[in-house]
Structure 1
């Protein structure tokens, strides 16, 4: 059977309902030949030793030598991988970033909204206190506060992003990362704005949500019962935040995906449409509570306000293609 013509039920990479998949050739990836393959390979090397599966290990061993130039990096991907479309496009691409906010490690008249560390009794997958209960003071007085911010909207968006940098009054920067959540399903504030009829879906962005809530709709944040806890992380200033694979992620080379469909650590070709198209090889190094489905990815745009402005407006279609080791890609056909 010719590659590029096979469509089949995919079971090996997922735990949910069957998805469809199609094996392509690299010539089918528009923009492949002009991408910076060496930059993608550098990002891949950050986490390749953590990928599950014996067929990945020899590729990781070869990857370091292939990073010598863009030519050898491109040859590495073309020799040892095949592009696979999992699920049915169009994809949904969004963006995320690492925020930077002013804050304090102690409560002050200005900084009054806490970021909490993970409570010791919290159990993954088990519902804990809701957002409303926590914000109502259920954890107050237990010494779980990592830092304090001056805006509840900033606290909320730090939870949505899952990591951030907090600038202290003495000039020090505290970096925080995801430590767990309260077990409640994420509920979209943007979708609630559409449901209430105050906005159309094409009007909803991170910037618009923040502005609307600050203008008097603070009750909107409470419709999302999911609550995220943080931990202090020791990461060099020049490195990105820690992703789901416990390593730093790379701006415009890392994406958050649904690991039920896409293996964590796998190279992923992003063909994003919209006002600012992207055709680039990235790496699936993160996950997110709102990232569900085979054709769903959240692109990491970097750190700070400019990255936030860029990420906050992304809501585009296109196609996501996973690069899998050759044997793994074609082994799917054996089940037909």
Structure 2
């Protein structure tokens, strides 16, 4: 559950007719014949049954907008950073992604059913499958969301845990940067003694909520006077992300198979003093800005769309590209959340500190309590495919 918090890193990805590979030559995306794919791949019934085509087209348009920007050109140029032959490799890949999105957009608009769209996509596109965590295509899926919390612009006895602006002299901070423990103390209240003093942007009531906003990278905040404030990622320290959920598993506090966001929150509700022990284990620290009501944005600096935007490791995967996820998502049936198998067309529009390697995908689930619940219930395996025209 880590999306929305890190920009696209320098990457080396080679796109060939045989594979997409890192410069170390191990392919991370392998072409698959459509005849070998599970029958469910690309059968995106939500586009018609749930009227989801406008959201998918919106996500496509966001990727197309990004792909025409100087940032996209710079990002794709990084694919030749390790001396791969052919200076135009990154530009050629970017143009191929653009051409693929334009064609797919037309197909979404003109197809009359999920089956018809699936058939033409299988006929026209090349499917590149991620090798996953095991080299055989197993991808671990999680969900993330833009939370809504109560907050105050001034500190009070109730609102005590700040989110912080990016320090104006941050570029001059010596490296390695201070850790979370050094910046805010074990109890999260010592920030006024160091470089964070005077950088308070807004105050939250709950320390774990403030921490989760850092993990998610953005939030919608409800102020006491009824106004709403949106905050988004503005930078982070150079320490790697450490999952406190994984730390709880390692220490035997939560069984691996039971790890969900509600389970994690319940543990700290029952053991509040443990926050002092576990939160500092994530040495990374995130800064925020007032986004003036803009919707949550991903690492491409474009809005992310619920269930249509994903976060991946951008040192391996092509930014803005079209993909298919085959996994399970929680759906409500008879008043209960149940995992339902899905196949969805998505756009790769984000990344995150916890999203590393070819076997990790974070699905953006939206904003608010329902999105929070559903995101917290996603901890499932599946497959990831990228789609490109030949």
TM-score bucket of the superposed structures, by smaller chain: 0.7 to 0.9
Equivalent residue in structure 2 for 1:85, among 125, 129, 132: 129
Match of 2:97 in 1: 56
User: 1:246 & 1:268 partners in 2: Cα distance?
Assistant: 19
TM (normalized to structure 1)? 0.84
Change (3 A) 1:34 1:118: closer
Match of 1:221 in 2: 279
User: 2:180 & 2:306 partners in 1: Cα distance?
Assistant: 30
User: 1:97 & 1:15 partners in 2: Cα distance?
Assistant: 33
User: How many corresponding residue pairs?
Assistant: 316
Match of 2:224 in 1: 169
**Secondary structure of 2:156 counterpart:** coil
Match of 1:330 in 2: none
CA RMSD of aligned residues (A): 2.8
**Secondary structure of 1:185 counterpart:** coil
- Counterparts of 1:112-261 in structure 2, within 5 Å, are 112-123=160-171, 126-135=175-184, 136-137=190-191, 138-139=193-194, 142-216=197-271, 217-218=274-275, 219-236=277-294, 240-261=295-316
Change (3 A) 1:48 1:144: same
Match of 2:385 in 1: 321
Which runs of 5 or more structure 2 residues have no equivalent in the other structure? 1-15, 68-75, 77-93, 185-189, 330-338
Equivalent residue in structure 2 for 1:306, among 370, 375, 379: 370
Change (3 A) 1:84 1:197: same
User: 1:64 & 1:50 partners in 2: Cα distance?
Assistant: 15
User: 2:368 & 2:23 partners in 1: Cα distance?
Assistant: 36
* CA offsets 1:174-202 (integer angstroms, 9 cap, x no match): 11111111111111111211221222111
User: 2:174 & 2:20 partners in 1: Cα distance?
Assistant: 26
TM (normalized to structure 2)? 0.73
Change (3 A) 1:103 1:76: farther
CA contact (8 A) 2:145 2:367 kept: yes
